[in-house]
């Protein structure tokens, strides 16, 4: 936002009629739509109508994770790209939207504001919004607002419209002689241009993120448990999946299918692991005196899904097994479900025991994260040693946290893991154990890559202590 909010612009809904009393009947009134004239967000309402929901919700979440609008102008282009992609993938949504708009349009109408506008028969009323024409139009039709003009974003050229902002959309409107009514502080540039700027927050207005209550694998971990960390990429893909792949791919007959199958198995595993996260936070909220919960925990709509994760885990896991281990599919699927049931049982116990006991269960949970895939795909000695070291390094930090207290230690976990890998591989070589050379190279190379910054910091800090003597 390029401008700041002036406190004089702010007005309560109950004061609006008084502030408009001195305005001529034929004045121009520029009125915002979303959460002002209509007490919901039109874009989110449209996206919430996407069907099927179980496919639409992951698509929207994936867009939120990848944020492709970063390359198209930033957050101003986000809604345009979300609507564009969703409409292309689910084209029937646009066809069904007029019917949906007829159902919800009047339901969320701001009747108090509409009544004030209808009383001004001679006024020029301009509805200005950065919502999209094919979405806002059917909703406006339900509001029975006579003789109004519309300034909305176009569908195919919505990016340019949104980047230009509302002032550009209103070039033919004498803003310096107009009343501007909006709820959004992002409209500060428009408010500054108005003769009578009115920033009004309506208590009935509510922003509802589309499909927020639909279960999506890993959304809780990404947005609530570990917000702002890009945990799916950095903590799951580059850690769990990477080591599953590196520890097992050498023994696969079809490496490409194997790698893809492990990705599906990873998502399947995390559907159930994430249930443990949700349960952990709920138990902490109920029974701990000082629970460690993210700010997002209370701000977001919290999922209460127990069946949906298992449905996702089963379907996605079945696809993963078909790709990574196509032989003996029924038996392999039974083994995988047994692994998930074991994980859920361990996590349930972990969440419902005291913290000291919990510390000694954490290595078992980390072992599940490291070794789950190995239950159904073969692994060599080097891979098994690496996965064990991977699990132990993760467990060590949590054990320290629980035993000593305070925050997690800021130790060099990646460097510690690289050291442990090297030690274990050297010990196995000395014992003349059968190590696969390619497997060792892949695992050490990746561990070195992940530890590169920590290793560089250590090397830059090397100095001779003999030079410190006075």
Rg (C-alpha) for the chain, rounded Å, is: 29
Query: Which pairs from 93-96 meet CB under 8 Å and 24+ separation?
Result: 93/46, 93/49, 93/50, 93/51, 94/134, 96/49
Question: What integer pLDDT is reported at residue 408 of this predicted model?
Answer: 55
Helices within 68-132 (DSSP H only): 78-89, 92-104, 111-118
d(CA 63, CA 83): 11
d(CA 314, CA 148): 53
* All CATH 3.40.50 domain ranges in the chain, comma separated: 7-200
Beta bridge partners of 153: 132
7-200 topology per CATH: Rossmann fold (3.40.50)
Alpha carbon distances (Å) from 285 to 238, 249, 279, 304, 386: 31, 42, 10, 15, 36
Walking along the chain (470 residues) 10 residues at a time, the average pLDDT comes out as 71 88 89 96 97 93 89 92 96 96 95 92 92 96 92 93 92 92 92 92 92 87 81 88 94 92 96 92 84 75 75 95 83 94 96 86 92 92 92 80 60 84 92 90 92 89 72
**Dihedral sign from CA coordinates of 172, 178, 182, 185:** positive
Question: What integer pLDDT is reported at residue 2 of this predicted model?
Answer: 46
d(CA 275, CA 307): 10
Model pTM score: 0.79
Question: What integer pLDDT is reported at residue 8 of this predicted model?
Answer: 81
Question: What integer pLDDT is reported at residue 325 of this predicted model?
Answer: 79
Under 8 Å between Cβ of 245 and 379:
no
Question: What integer pLDDT is reported at residue 295 of this predicted model?
Answer: 76
Question: What integer pLDDT is reported at residue 1 of this predicted model?
Answer: 41
Question: What integer pLDDT is reported at residue 401 of this predicted model?
Answer: 67
d(CA 303, CA 308): 10
Three-class DSSP labels, 203-260: CCCCCCCCCCCCCCCCHHHHHHHCCCCCHHHHHHHHHHHHHHHHHHHHHCCCHHHHHH
Token pair 């996702």: residue: 312
């Amino acid at each position: 936002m390029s401008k700041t909010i002036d406190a004089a612009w702010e007005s309560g809904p109950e004061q609006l009629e008084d502030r408009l009393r001195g305005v001529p009947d034929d004045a121009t009134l520029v009125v915002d739509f979303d959460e002002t004239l209509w007490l919901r967000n039109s874009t989110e309402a449209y996206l919430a109508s996407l069907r099927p929901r179980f496919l639409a919700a992951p698509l929207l979440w994936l867009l939120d994770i990848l944020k492709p609008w970063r390359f198209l102008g930033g957050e101003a282009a986000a809604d345009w790209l979300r609507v564009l992609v969703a409409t292309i993938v689910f084209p029937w949504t646009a066809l069904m939207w007029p019917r949906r708009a007829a159902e919800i349009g009047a339901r969320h109408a701001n009747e108090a504001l509409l009544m004030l506008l209808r009383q001004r028969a001679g006024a020029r009323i301009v509805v200005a919004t950065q919502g999209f024409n094919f979405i806002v139009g059917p909703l406006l039709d339900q509001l029975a607002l006579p003789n109004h003009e519309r300034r909305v974003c176009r569908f195919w050229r919505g990016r340019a419209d949104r980047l230009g902002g509302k002032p550009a959309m209103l070039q033919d409107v004498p803003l310096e002689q107009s009343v501007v009514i909006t709820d959004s502080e992002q409209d500060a540039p428009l408010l500054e241009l108005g003769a009578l700027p009115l920033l009004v927050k309506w208590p009935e207005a509510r922003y509802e993120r589309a499909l927020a209550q639909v279960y999506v694998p890993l959304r809780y971990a990404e947005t609530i448990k570990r917000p702002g960390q890009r945990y799916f990429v950095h903590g799951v893909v580059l850690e769990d999946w990477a080591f599953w792949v590196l520890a097992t791919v050498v023994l696969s007959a079809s490496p490409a299918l194997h790698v893809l199958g492990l990705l599906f198995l990873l998502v399947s595993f995390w559907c159930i692991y994430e249930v443990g996260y949700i349960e952990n936070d709920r138990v902490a909220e109920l029974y701990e005196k000082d629970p460690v919960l993210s700010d997002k925990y209370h701000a977001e709509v919290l999922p209460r899904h127990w069946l949906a994760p298992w449905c996702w885990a089963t379907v996605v896991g079945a696809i993963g097994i078909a790709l990574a281990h196509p032989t003996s599919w029924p038996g392999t699927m039974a083994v995988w479900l047994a692994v998930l049931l074991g994980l859920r049982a361990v996590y349930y116990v972990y969440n419902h025991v005291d913290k000291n006991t919990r510390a000694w269960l954490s290595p078992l949970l980390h072992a599940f994260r490291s070794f789950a895939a190995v239950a159904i795909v073969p692994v060599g000695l080097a891979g098994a040693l690496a996965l064990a070291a991977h699990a132990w390094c993760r467990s060590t930090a949590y054990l320290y946290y629980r035993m000593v207290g305070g925050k997690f230690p800021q130790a060099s976990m990646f460097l510690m893991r690289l050291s442990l890998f090297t030690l274990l591989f050297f010990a196995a070589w000395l014992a003349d154990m059968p190590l696969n050379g390619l497997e060792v190279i892949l695992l050490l190379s990746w561990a070195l890559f992940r530890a590169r910054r920590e290793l560089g910091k250590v090397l830059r800090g090397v100095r001779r202590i003999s030079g410190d003597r006075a």
